[in-house]
Amino acid sequence: MTITGGLGRWVFAAALAGACGAAFAQPIRIGELNSYKAQPAFLEPYKKGWELAVEEINAGGGLLGRPLEVVSRDDNGNPGDAVRVAEELVSREQATLIFGTFLSNIGLAVTDFAKQRKTVFVAAEPLTDKITWQNGNRYTFRLRPSTYMQAAMLVPEAAKLKKKRWAVVYPNYEYGQSAAATFKQLLKAAQPDVEFVAEQAPALGRIDAGAVAQAIADARPDAIFNVTFGADLARFVREGQTRGLFKDRAVVSLLSGEPEYLDPLKDEAPEGWWVTGYPWYSIQTADHDKFLRAYQAKWKEYPRLGSVVGYSTLVSIAAAIRKAGSTDTEKVIAAFRGLQADSPFGRITWRAADNQATMGAFVGQTAINQGRGVMKNFRYVDGAAVLPPEAEVRKLRPAD
């Protein structure tokens, strides 16, 4: 890997010597941008995931007889900077396509850029539904299950709790707003007598956890739906536990079973919350075992969900280029629609109706085991099972 200064550019062209004849061909160059400095907990493992995939691809002969090269830059966690970086990747670096982004508002900005520049963009992580629905376009594809999909995974468990009075807490930007709105809509459909008695929407990264916890407690809800993550989640958990907020009160929480956010809490992790997450230590499938062994052999550490996302994104991009037999934009778009690709969670499909992958997530309960937070009683929910019918999606999505 070559690291340069300035805009934080990483140029990764691994295992070229092992790519035989491909080592001497002009590389296929793709661009990547993400909020590495702003969101390191998720994105450092994510980067290791896509680096592993690039290494495996090049060791296996590359793509179309050529080595694969990724030019990666930091978007500074800012939509304006992200668009500027995306333009540089396409114009200056001559990237065939671009992928990445983490925060939903940044993903939406790059989604619009892809449409304007007629460039394929594979959104790896941002979860807002708008990326593939209301703001979707023929050039933009998304890997991870959206806020709608993950809320739909959790609502059956929420409804089983039979709690009437709910409070909601979420970061006040696109992802949080979208997740909260979808959960309320879906839970109301499943349980018509539900009431939402409190709503707290602190700014991302600036939660006053004590005040938020107290405001929720004052509303006396029977249950809480939480969408905070990262440092905000840790603060909320600690303040909530200190104030007894979670005692005898059900909690349903998006993303909180992901190691990136659960591990830092150690023995302070909450117990009994229903969450989406990634119990890497207990998944017994051939696809995951293969990925786990390769990841641990290269990086000498266990994977996080970001690792799976980074790896799966590159594997899918490679599969699309192979299927297209070309790096031509229109041919890659055609190849992505209906594409089937492997992932550590098994085979996924990139749905033609909305360019959304069917990657799923694990749903289970939090617990503490040997001084650390884990997931128990979990099951994998296939993303295809929680996607709306294609006819409904076409009503939401602009015509291509």
∠ CA 181-195-273, rounded to 5°: 70
What are the pLDDT digits (tens) for 370-388?
999 999 999 999 999 999 9
Q: Which residue has the higher pLDDT, 3 or 227?
A: 227
Q: What is the pLDDT of residue 239?
A: 96
Q: Taking residues 103-109, what's their average pLDDT? A: 97
| Percent of all residues in the chain with a pLDDT value above 70, rounded to a whole number | 94
What are the structure tokens assigned to 261, written together?
Answer: 């956010």
Query: Considering Cα of 115, then 120, then 121, then 127, what sign does the dihedral take?
Result: positive
| Percent of all residues in the chain with a pLDDT value above 90, rounded to a whole number | 91
Q: What is the chain's mean pLDDT, rounded?
A: 93
Give the closest residue to 152 by CA, choosing from 126, 103, 190, 102: 190
User: Quick one: 148-281+361-390 is in which CATH superfamily?
Assistant: Response regulator (3.40.50.2300)
pLDDT exceeds 60 at position 2: no
Q: What is the pLDDT of residue 24?
A: 61
Half-sphere exposure in the Cβ direction for 353 (13 Å, CA): 13
Q: Taking residues 156-185, what's their average pLDDT? A: 96
Q: What is the pLDDT of residue 398?
A: 87
pLDDT exceeds 80 at position 236: yes
Q: Taking residues 331-354, what's their average pLDDT? A: 97
Q: What is the pLDDT of residue 193?
A: 96
How many CB atoms are closer than 10 A to CB 371? 8
Q: What is the pLDDT of residue 81?
A: 98
Q: What is the pLDDT of residue 399?
A: 79
pLDDT exceeds 90 at position 23: no
How many Å apart are CA 72 and CA 2, to the nearest integer? 11
Same fold, 2-144+286-345 and 148-281+361-390: yes
pLDDT exceeds 60 at position 16: no
Q: What is the pLDDT of residue 400?
A: 76
Q: What is the pLDDT of residue 25?
A: 85
Domain ranges of the chain: 2-144+286-345, 148-281+361-390
Half-sphere exposure in the Cβ direction for 83 (13 Å, CA): 12
How many Å apart are CA 229 and CA 147, to the nearest integer? 14
What are the pLDDT digits (tens) for 304-341?
999 999 999 999 999 999 999 999 999 999 999 999 99
Q: Which residues contact 392 (CB under 8 A, 6 or more apart)?
A: none
pTM to 2 decimal places: 0.92
> Which three-class secondary structure state does DSSP give residue 301?
coil
2-144+286-345 — its CATH code? 3.40.50.2300
pLDDT exceeds 60 at position 348: yes
